[in-house]
């Protein structure tokens, strides 16, 4: 998106950008820019615009609506205050008019590369978080299985002791008493 009130300058810049493979949407006012805000990956915004919405207001709204949009601020009236404010609002860079086209194109390219890398990083972080959640589930299942295995091992040990003891029983009453003890030990009763 190109937000520039000077029609001739806007068309010249749009032609240069189009010649370098960029799709350009023009906005001559701040209000027009705000209506088109969600459709752009990057915006070149003039600080001074003819309506009651300044370029810095446009920048603020763009970054609030679409935080990943990269904004390059341009002005013919550069001053330290607007430069600092632009950068604090999230501008990728602050350029003075007349614009050096090669510098603008390089800045735009770097801004879009930054955006691409940020998106890739966010995607990778989502993948890592998903893997971490999966690992937590698997770990919890392993803990549950280990606890179940330990419980079954204890029951098996009790059963083994009963079998050894029952082999030593001499009468049916003693064997029946040992069986009742086993059931109580195994917590079946």
Model pLDDT for residues 53-95, shown as the tens digit of each residue: 899 999 999 999 889 999 999 999 999 999 999 999 999 999 9
So what's the pLDDT on residue 84?
Answer: 96
Strand order, beta sheet including 93-96: 26-27, 2-3, 42-46, 70-75, 93-96
State residue 135's pLDDT score.
85
Residue with tokens 């609002």, as numbered in its chain: 89
Residue 20 has pLDDT above 60, yes or no: yes
Q: What is the mean pLDDT of the chain?
A: 88
Reported confidence tier of residue 139, pLDDT bands at 50, 70, 90: confident
Share of the chain above pLDDT 90, in %: 58
Note every long-range contact of 179-187, with CB atoms under 8 Å and residues 24 or more positions apart, other chains counting.
182/158, 185/158, 186/155, 186/158, 186/159
Q: Which CA distances in Å does 70 have to 105, 112, 157, 165?
A: 13, 7, 68, 80
């Amino acid at each position: 998106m190109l937000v520039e009130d000077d029609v001739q300058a806007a068309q010249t810049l749009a032609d240069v950008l189009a010649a370098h493979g960029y799709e350009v949407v023009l906005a001559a006012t701040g209000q027009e820019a705000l209506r088109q805000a969600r459709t752009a990956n990057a915006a070149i915004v003039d600080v001074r615009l003819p309506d009651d919405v300044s370029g810095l207001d446009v920048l603020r709204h763009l970054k609030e609506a679409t935080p990943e949009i990269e904004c390059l601020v341009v002005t013919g009236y550069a001053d330290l205050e607007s430069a600092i404010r632009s950068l604090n609002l999230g501008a990728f860079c602050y350029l003075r008019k007349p614009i050096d086209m090669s510098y603008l194109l390089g800045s735009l390219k770097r801004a879009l590369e930054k955006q691409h890398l940020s998106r890739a990083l966010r995607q990778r972080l989502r993948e890592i978080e998903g893997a971490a959640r999966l690992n937590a589930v698997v770990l919890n299942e392993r803990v549950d299985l280990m606890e179940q295995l330990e419980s079954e091992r204890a029951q098996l040990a009790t059963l083994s002791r009963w079998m050894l003891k029952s082999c030593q029983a001499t009468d049916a009453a003693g064997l029946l008493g040992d069986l009742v003890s086993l059931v109580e030990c195994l917590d079946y009763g």
